[in-house]
């Protein structure tokens, strides 16, 4: 005969069995430092940060190797130590890496709060470039300022300052995007800076800064028709300025027909194309570039991608491009994960900055764009460009760390 336990007895049995299981179960080990570290490594935020740091370090290593290869020849012709350019870039890399680590720990919102001071300092430096005793002339252009024995290029700082200012303004004025004041403020700041930069002269930087500002303004939600009008005016002014000076007009015309003047205006483009073609699929080998031996001007700066394509071949050249695309992708991922409008716009703007400059530089090297003097980020020789770029990477890392959307 089967007996059925009353409900209270069944409940008592379940409670007793549960208590026994908890008693007999081995005690849980406390979360050790090692376990916390493993859990942190599995975090999507840290994974993406490791990728960003890895990509930036890879670009810097490639840049240092190519600067050692091409810069040693340039240093020899200039009567300097063979390691001169490599050592200088190495010092700037260490300073840049330290700056990246520091800025990655600083809340990115502070940059927005202090932007007026950063803009004021940038304009002051741009003004000092044109003051005798402060400005430094090189290769017919005065783009550097020397303070306390340190040579600095303010136009590189301008890129970051304009991005921060535009992103902060649009984030704060989301409810007033239709007002002309929101549209006019960054445009006025840009044109004021453009006048100082064009006096250096540096049309390439003016184009890059303008393009980045328009991208951020578009993503920030400003009316498309106004932006279209701004772009139209900007293109018209760029063409007018390009044709106003003989050397700029010669660059544009030589870009269209470089073989029409192969020994003068088209020389640099043709020599670059020869160097790229010489690399083939796998390259001629590290240090074996022939273009750097007096044939290609500025081989360690604006045309360092030619040396990469020649020594590392098509595979190496494409790898460098993929690194830039990967860096931009992780930067945009950080922007999408950020729940703050300012952080999202800033991360996107910085990502597009690196990608845009890379494609302009590569386009110049392979002859599909006029020579603009735009360096390849993290790769070309240049201390200011590298330092400011590493600071910008640190800002992306901080935005990515504070992102909440998965």
The pLDDT value recorded for residue 165 is 95
Q: pLDDT tens-digit profile of 146-189? A: 887 788 899 999 999 999 999 999 998 888 878 888 888 899 99
Strands 141-147 and 135-138: antiparallel
- Calculate ∠ Cα 335-340-345, nearest 5°: 45
Residue 16 located in a structural domain: no
Regarding predicted confidence, which is higher, 27 or 234? 234
Number of structural domains the chain divides into: 1
| Residue 244, helix vs strand vs coil | helix
Computed over every residue of the chain, the mean pLDDT equals 84
Q: Evaluate the CA torsion angle 352, 357, 359, 360 in order and state its sign.
A: positive
Residue 31 located in a structural domain: no
Within 10 angstroms of residue 103's Cβ, the number of other Cβ atoms is 20
The pLDDT of residue 15 is above 60: no
Residue 304 located in a structural domain: yes
Residue 193 located in a structural domain: yes
What contacts 9, CB < 8 A, 6 or more positions away?
Answer: none
Residue 204 located in a structural domain: yes
The pLDDT value recorded for residue 89 is 94
**Tokens coding 370:** 């006029």
The pLDDT value recorded for residue 321 is 95
Q: Evaluate the CA torsion angle 90, 93, 97, 103 in order and state its sign.
A: positive
Of 240, 222, 225, 243, nearest to 177 by C-alpha is 222
The pLDDT value recorded for residue 127 is 92
The pLDDT value recorded for residue 30 is 52
Residue 30 located in a structural domain: no
Please, what is the end-to-end C-alpha distance for the chain in angstroms?
Answer: 60
Residue 325 located in a structural domain: yes
Overall average pLDDT of the 246-273 stretch? 76
Residue 41 located in a structural domain: no
The pLDDT of residue 129 is above 60: yes
Helix H segments across 199-245?
A: 203-220, 224-244
| Stretch among 117-131, 136-150, 158-172, 183-197 having the lowest mean pLDDT | 136-150
Overall average pLDDT of the 267-272 stretch? 85
Contacts 24+ apart (CB under 8 A), 269-275: 269/367, 269/371, 271/295, 271/296, 271/297, 272/296, 272/303, 272/306, 272/364, 272/365, 272/366, 272/367, 273/366, 273/367, 275/306, 275/307, 275/309, 275/310
The pLDDT value recorded for residue 32 is 54
Percent pLDDT > 70 in the chain is 86
Range of the domain at 91: 46-401
Distance CA 56, CA 390 (A): 8
């Amino acid at each position: 005969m089967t007996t059925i336990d009353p409900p209270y007895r069944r409940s008592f049995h379940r409670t007793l069995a549960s208590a026994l299981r908890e008693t007999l179960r081995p005690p849980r080990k406390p979360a050790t430092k090692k376990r916390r570290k493993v859990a942190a490594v599995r975090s999507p935020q840290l994974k993406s940060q490791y990728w960003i740091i890895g990509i930036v370090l890879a670009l810097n290593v490639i840049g240092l190797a190519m600067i050692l290869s091409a810069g040693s020849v340039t240093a020899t012709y200039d009567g300097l130590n063979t390691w001169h350019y490599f050592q200088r870039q190495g010092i700037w890399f260490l300073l840049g890496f330290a700056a990246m680590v520091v800025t990655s720990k600083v809340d990115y919102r502070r940059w927005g709060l202090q932007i007026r001071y950063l803009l004021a300092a940038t304009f002051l430096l741009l003004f000092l470039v044109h003051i005798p005793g402060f400005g430094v002339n090189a290769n017919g252009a005065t783009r550097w300022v020397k303070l306390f024995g340190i040579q600095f290029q303010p136009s590189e700082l301008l890129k970051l300052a304009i991005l921060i200012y535009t992103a902060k303004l649009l984030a704060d004025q989301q409810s007033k995007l239709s007002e002309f004041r929101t549209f006019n403020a960054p445009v006025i700041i840009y044109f004021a800076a453009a006048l100082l930069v064009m006096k250096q002269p540096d049309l390439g930087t003016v184009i890059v800064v303008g393009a980045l500002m328009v991208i951020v303004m578009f993503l920030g939600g400003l009316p498309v028709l106004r932006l279209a009008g701004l772009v139209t005016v900007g293109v018209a002014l760029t063409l007018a300025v390009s044709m106003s000076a003989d050397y700029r007009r010669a660059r544009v015309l030589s870009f269209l027909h470089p073989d029409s003047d192969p020994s003068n205006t088209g020389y640099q483009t043709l020599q670059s194309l020869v160097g790229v073609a010489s690399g083939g699929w796998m390259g001629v080998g590290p240090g074996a570039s022939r273009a750097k031996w007096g044939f290609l001007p500025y081989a360690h700066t604006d045309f360092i991608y030619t040396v990469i394509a020649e020594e590392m071949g098509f595979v190496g050249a494409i790898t460098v491009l993929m690194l830039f695309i990967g860096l931009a992708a992780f930067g945009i991922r950080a922007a999408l994960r950020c729940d703050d409008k300012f952080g999202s716009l800033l991360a996107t703007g910085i990502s597009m900055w690196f990608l845009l400059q890379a494609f302009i530089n590569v386009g110049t090297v392979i002859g599909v764009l006029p020579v603009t003097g735009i360096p390849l980020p993290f790769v070309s020789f240049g201390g200011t460009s590298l330092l400011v770029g590493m600071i910008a990477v640190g800002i992306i890392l901080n935005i990515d760390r504070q992102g909440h959307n998965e």
